[in-house]
């Protein structure tokens, strides 16, 4: 009976997760709307970046700083301080370095978002497959429980298997809910750092 209850919970969770917010993205498991890429105009009101695209990779200092600022383990206040220190030391090259730095952040954080979102969709597909398997095994368990004579060894083995699969399903569901916040966190980080860079350019 315990396995049946757990299976029912898992199937209910799966059904809730399977309802896509936007039919264009059927594998998207989050309640937050899927925005595939950050729009440059949404996070940058500074000068055009056309002349520095990809050039940031050729500057060792900028590349190293982009890597540090893009890492989620770097606290935002520390990242903002690093931006200010870097641009304060740039002297006559401040505007050019500011543009290079933001171009690098924009490219890097957009790529991070894409990786996270692709991962979420992969997990969403696995969850659907797992829910289907749990449904199948639940029906098989019901059949075994109602059989005459009843094979207790098989009933117990399938019950235990269902409990284990349901636990994995629920754990994965919790992780997905947590990871769904990451794209928004990346958006906020890019917006905050872009604002600091623009303020330092003025």
Mean pLDDT of 170-183: 89
**pLDDT confidence tier of residue 1, bands split at 50, 70 and 90:** very low
- pLDDT of 10 strictly over 70: no
Its sign, for the CA torsion 72, 78, 81, 85, is negative
Lowest mean pLDDT among 32-36, 49-53, 190-194: 49-53
pTM exceeding 0.75 = yes
User: For tokens 């171009």, what's the residue?
Assistant: 103
**What digits encode the pLDDT tens for the residues 111-159?**
999 999 999 999 989 988 888 888 888 888 888 888 888 888 888 898 8
Residue 5 scores a pLDDT above 70: no
pLDDT digits (tens, 9 = 90+) for 36-87: 888 888 889 888 888 887 889 998 999 999 999 999 999 999 999 999 999 9
Contacts of 164 (CB under 8 A, 6+ apart): none
What pLDDT, on a 0 to 100 scale, did the predictor assign at position 190? 95
pLDDT at 170 over 90: no
Residues 178-197 have a mean pLDDT of 93
Token reading at 18? 């399977």
């Amino acid at each position: 009976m315990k396995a049946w209850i757990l299976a029912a919970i898992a199937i209910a969770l799966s059904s809730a997760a399977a309802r896509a917010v936007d039919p264009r993205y059927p594998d998207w498991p989050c309640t937050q709307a899927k925005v595939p890429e950050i729009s440059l105009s949404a996070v940058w009101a500074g000068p055009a970046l056309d002349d520095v695209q990809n050039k940031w990779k050729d500057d060792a200092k900028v590349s190293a700083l982009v890597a540090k600022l893009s890492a989620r383990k770097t606290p935002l206040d520390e990242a903002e301080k690093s931006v200010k220190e870097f641009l304060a030391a740039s002297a006559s090259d401040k505007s050019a370095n500011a543009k290079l730095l933001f171009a690098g952040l924009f490219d890097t954080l957009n790529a991070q978002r894409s990786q996270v979102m692709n991962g979420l969709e992969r997990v969403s597909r696995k969850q659907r497959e797992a829910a289907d398997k749990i449904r199948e095994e639940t029906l098989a368990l019901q059949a075994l429980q109602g059989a005459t004579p009843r094979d207790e060894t098989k009933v117990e083995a399938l019950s235990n298997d269902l409990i284990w699969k349901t636990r994995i399903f629920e754990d994965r569901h919790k992780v997905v809910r947590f990871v769904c916040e990451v794209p928004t966190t990346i958006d906020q980080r890019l917006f905050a750092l872009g604002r600091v860079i623009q303020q330092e350019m003025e």
